[in-house]
Amino acid sequence: MDKRPIGIFDSGVGGLTVVKQVMKVMPHENIVYFGDTARLPYGSKSKEAVTKFSKQNVRFLLTKEVKAIIVACNTASSNSLEELHKAFDVPIFGVVDAGVAEALRTTQNKKIGVIGTAGTVRSRAYEKMILRQEATMEVFSKACPLFVPLAEEGWTENEVARLTAENYLEGLLAKGIDSLVLGCTHYPLLKRCIGTVVGENVKLVDPAKATAKQVKLFLQEKGITNLEEKTGERTFYLSDYTDMFYSICQKALKQGYHPEIMDIEQF
């Protein structure tokens, strides 16, 4: 029995799709979320910058006495997770590991597509980890930098979104993939559009779901689940004020929260 919260950090507000899955799978756990809205996006930035930012984010969450941390941001998981494991003792989970496991369970023809930010694709983290576990797999990756601003603009189902998805995905489809990893926390917001473009025969893999299940199992094994009956408390911190928090909150969590603004450069 352990009431300490689970810490979740993301480059901004996309990580709320991970919060959604954690709330669903572990409704009684307390959650502290940090979104680095002052320095978002991480996807176009270097490994060094992303790792520096991620360490500051972990140091901040540690002040909230978290019992485990989820790196909701795919770019940070891909580029910085190893460094974070070296630097800190707290258990830290990235979305990539669980996403890989789910993709391996999903594919039938061993051809997996991965879409993400430029930083995630450049890191080749998904590809390397999939091949380490199953060398016979074929992995095809594509950076889709316009998907995040489209999701944030709320253009998730219009003609611009459809054409953009077609432009980005036609190369992957030509390779004959049968599963597609949504390797960025914003992409589930475009799920319907992406699903229409790839068709029914390509299964979409959402690493957030798999991550939530993995963390639940870990807490059970360690005996540090929160056994209280009541719904967990959720606290949100951002490094800069943004209207987008509210709109993505409504879309992802179907309810509003008030974030507290703090200065991450102090950590």
Min dist CB 161 to its own copies, Å, is 9
| The token pair that represents 157 in the structure block | 């189902």
Q: Should residue 152 be labelled a site residue for its own copies when binding is judged by CB under 8 A?
A: yes
CA 130 – CA 9 distance, rounded (Å): 24
Please select the residue that binds its own copies; options are 242, 248, 249, 252, rule is CB under 8 A. 242
Omega prior to 41 cis, within 30 of 0:
yes
75 annotated as a binding-site residue: yes
Please select the residue that binds its own copies; options are 27, 46, 63, 105, rule is CB under 8 A. 46
Min dist CB 165 to its own copies, Å, is 10
Site string for its own copies, 154-193 (x = CB under 8 A): -x--xxx--xx--x--------------------------
Is 73 tagged catalytic?
A: yes
Q: Which residue ranges are tagged as binding site for substrate?
A: 10-11, 42-43, 74-75, 185-186
Interface contacts to its own copies, rule CB under 8 A: 37-40, 44-46, 48-49, 145-146, 148-150, 152-153, 155, 158-160, 163-164, 167, 240-242, 244, 265
